[in-house]
Amino acid sequence: MSGPERELLDRAAALLDAKKGARLTVIDLGGSSIPTSCFLIASGENPVHVRALCNELLAKMPLAPRHVEGVREGRWALLDYGDFVVHIFDDEVRTFYDLEGLWPRDRVTPWAPLRRPPASV
């Protein structure tokens, strides 16, 4: 992933990081049958934190997600931005489902920004 799509991914990750989202991880889905480029995964400490992380993306991303699920419950929320999908888990649910463990290790990497996030983040 590169260009504008990577910039949007970095923006989402920087917003989550600024709100204390934990263990930001990117799963590269290129070449798979999944119709998106990657997953961005983050953890919140509890359902309230998960909802706050979701609300931060909903308020500050420059585009609305195509689909949103699970925000109200705050255990596993999904925000589909087309080119990438954000999964925000509470810690217990993330450990249970272990999305990272479903993919080869070379496709799973900790998020690292391409450049410093914008000052407004």
Q: What is the pLDDT of residues 4-51, one digit of tens each?
A: 788 899 999 999 999 999 999 999 998 888 888 999 999 999 999 999
* 1 pLDDT higher than 90: no
Q: What is the CATH number of the domain that holds 56?
A: 3.30.460.10
Quote the pLDDT of residue 32.
Answer: 83
User: Is 105 within a domain?
Assistant: yes
DSSP notation for the chain:
--HHHHHHHHHHHHHHHHTT-EEEEEEE-TTSSSSSSEEEEEEESSHHHHHHHHHHHHHHSSS--SEEESTTTTSEEEEE-SSEEEEEEEHHHHHHH-GGGGS-GGGEEE---SSPPPTT-
User: Is 90 within a domain?
Assistant: yes
Question: Count of domains in the chain?
Answer: 1
Q: pTM higher than 0.85, yes or no?
A: yes
Q: What is the pLDDT of residues 60-83, one digit of tens each?
A: 999 999 999 999 999 999 999 999
